[in-house]
Amino acid sequence: MNNDTNNANNYRHLFGPVPSRRLGISLGIDLVPPKTCNYNCIYCECGRTTSLTAKRREYVPTAEVTEELDSYLSASPRLDYITFSGSGEPTLHSGTGEICRYIKSKFPGYRIALLTNGGLFSDKSVRDEVMDMDVIIPSLDSATEAGFMKIDRPCSSVVIDEIIFGLAELRKEFSGEIWLEIFVVPGLNDTEEELAALSEAVHRIAPDRVQLNTLDRPGVVDWIRAATPEEMERFAAGLGYEGTEITGRPSSRSGIGSFSGDAVEQIMQTIRRRPCTAGDLSSVLGMHKNEVNKYIQLLIEEGRIREKRENRGIFFRISEEN
C-alpha cells in the first residue's frame, strides 16, 4: 500500500488531495464502484449512471477504507477536508456513518464533508449516519416531480416530495453546516413555476448556504448549456433566499494548496500523444476520474486544451496555440 502522504492515487478507495474551489485541499473517499447512483443526472461530469439503484449495501469493504485512512492520515497531511464523494452516491454505502465516526475518533483534527444528491435522507437511519459530518452538501435541482425527472432521472423509488421532506428533517436534526447546491439548467428549472417551487422548498429546508452552479463541462446529454451570468442572477433573485451565492468559475485552481503541476504536465503529455477521454486519462495516469476532471477544467479555462464530443464520449485535445 502506498505510504506517500502527498498523493492518494495508489489507494483503492482514497483519491487526491484535489484542488477544490469550495473545500480547498480535499482528500476524497470513494465508497461505490463507478458509476453507481440513485440518480442519472444529465449534467454529471462522471458520465452516465451504469448501475441505477437505491439499494444500500457495503459496496466496498469498510475495513479496507479505514485501513487506507490509517495509512494516509498517520503522517498528519495538511488537509482542509476529508470528503465523501467519488464515482456515485456515497450514502448508498451502508458503512458511511461507521467510517465517519472512525475518522472523528482516531483523527479528530480533520473536518469531514459529504457531497450527496440528498436522495436518501427521507430514511431516518441514513440521516442518523451522517450526524458526525461537519458539512453536508446536498443537491436539489428541482422541487417539482416533472423537473426532477428531466434533470436528475432518478430510480423509480425516489420521489421529490420525500427528498424535500428528508432535507428539511436533516436540517432539524443536524448541528453542522448544510450547503444546498442547485444546478441551474436553462429552460428546465428556471421557469417561474420551477423557481416558485424551489424557493418554497429552500425556505422550508433553511440551509446555511445555497450555492448556484451551472455547466462548465459537457454533460451526459449534448443539448444542455450553461446559464449566462444574467440568467444566474435572475435565478438567485427568483429564489429570494438570503444565503444564496453564485459559485461560478474560480479565477484559478492553481492557487489552491493541493494543486499539482506534475499532474497537469502528465495530462498535457498524454493528450499530446493522442486525444483522450477523462476515463482514458484516469486509467493511463492512475488518477481518480474526479481529480482528472478538476485539472481538465483548469486546462480548458486556460485555453490549453479543447474538447469534442465523439461516439465514445468527450475527447480532449491540445489547443492549436499549444
Query: What is this structure's pTM?
Result: 0.80
Residue 249 included in any domain = yes
Do 107 and 152 sit in the same domain of this protein? yes
- Can you give the pLDDT at residue 226? 87
- Assign 290 to helix, strand or coil: helix
The proportion of the chain whose per-residue pLDDT surpasses 70, expressed as a percent, equals: 89
Domain count along the chain: 2
Q: Do residues 252 and 304 lie in contact, with contact meaning Cβ atoms separated by under 8 Å?
A: no
- Can you give the pLDDT at residue 1? 37
Residue 286 has pLDDT above 80, yes or no: no
CA 97, 100, 101 angle in degrees (round to 5)?
85
Do 144 and 238 sit in the same domain of this protein? yes
Do 209 and 280 sit in the same domain of this protein? no
Residue 154 included in any domain = yes
**Tens of pLDDT along 211-267?**
999 987 656 677 888 899 999 999 999 999 999 999 855 444 444 444 556 788 888
Residue 138 has pLDDT above 50, yes or no: yes
Structure confidence at residue 5 as a pLDDT band (50, 70, 90): very low
- Can you give the pLDDT at residue 182? 97
Q: Which long-range contacts (CB under 8 A, 24 or more apart) does 274-278 make?
A: 275/308, 275/315, 275/316, 275/317, 276/315, 276/316, 277/312, 277/313, 277/314, 277/315, 277/316, 278/45, 278/313, 278/314, 278/316
Identify how many contiguous H helices and E strands the chain contains and give both numbers.
10, 12
What is the residue-averaged pLDDT of the chain?
87
CATH number of residue 163's parent domain: 3.20.20.70
Q: Do residues 20 and 113 lie in contact, with contact meaning Cβ atoms separated by under 8 Å?
A: no
State the Cα–Cα distance between residues 69 and 201, nearest whole angstrom: 37
Do 195 and 304 sit in the same domain of this protein? no
User: Sign of torsion, CA 285 291 297 299?
Assistant: negative
Residue 4 included in any domain = no
Do 271 and 135 sit in the same domain of this protein? no
**Tens of pLDDT along 65-74?**
999 999 999 9
Do 216 and 285 sit in the same domain of this protein? no
Q: Do residues 24 and 256 lie in contact, with contact meaning Cβ atoms separated by under 8 Å?
A: yes
Using the 3D structure, point to which of 255, 275, 308 is the last residue of a domain.
255
The proportion of the chain whose per-residue pLDDT surpasses 90, expressed as a percent, equals: 61
State the Cα–Cα distance between residues 19 and 264, nearest whole angstrom: 12
What is the residue range of 49's domain? 14-255
**Tens of pLDDT along 10-27?**
788 998 787 777 888 889
Do 231 and 166 sit in the same domain of this protein? yes
Using the 3D structure, point to which of 223, 255, 287 is the last residue of a domain.
255
Do 247 and 270 sit in the same domain of this protein? no
Do 248 and 291 sit in the same domain of this protein? no
Structure confidence at residue 4 as a pLDDT band (50, 70, 90): very low
Do 106 and 200 sit in the same domain of this protein? yes
Structure confidence at residue 279 as a pLDDT band (50, 70, 90): confident
**Tens of pLDDT along 70-100?**
999 999 999 999 999 988 999 999 999 999 9
* Mean pLDDT (whole number) for 201-207: 98
Residue 7 included in any domain = no
Residue 272 has pLDDT above 90, yes or no: no
Residue 1 included in any domain = no
**Tens of pLDDT along 106-134?**
999 999 999 999 999 999 999 999 999 99
Using the 3D structure, point to which of 202, 231, 255 is the last residue of a domain.
255
State the Cα–Cα distance between residues 210 and 198, nearest whole angstrom: 11
Output 166 or 252, whichever has higher pLDDT: 166
CATH number of residue 279's parent domain: 1.10.10.10
Q: Which residues pair with residue 181 across a beta bridge?
A: 139, 211
Place of cell 458539512: 135
Residue 322 has pLDDT above 60, yes or no: no
Residue 191 has pLDDT above 60, yes or no: yes
- Can you give the pLDDT at residue 289? 77
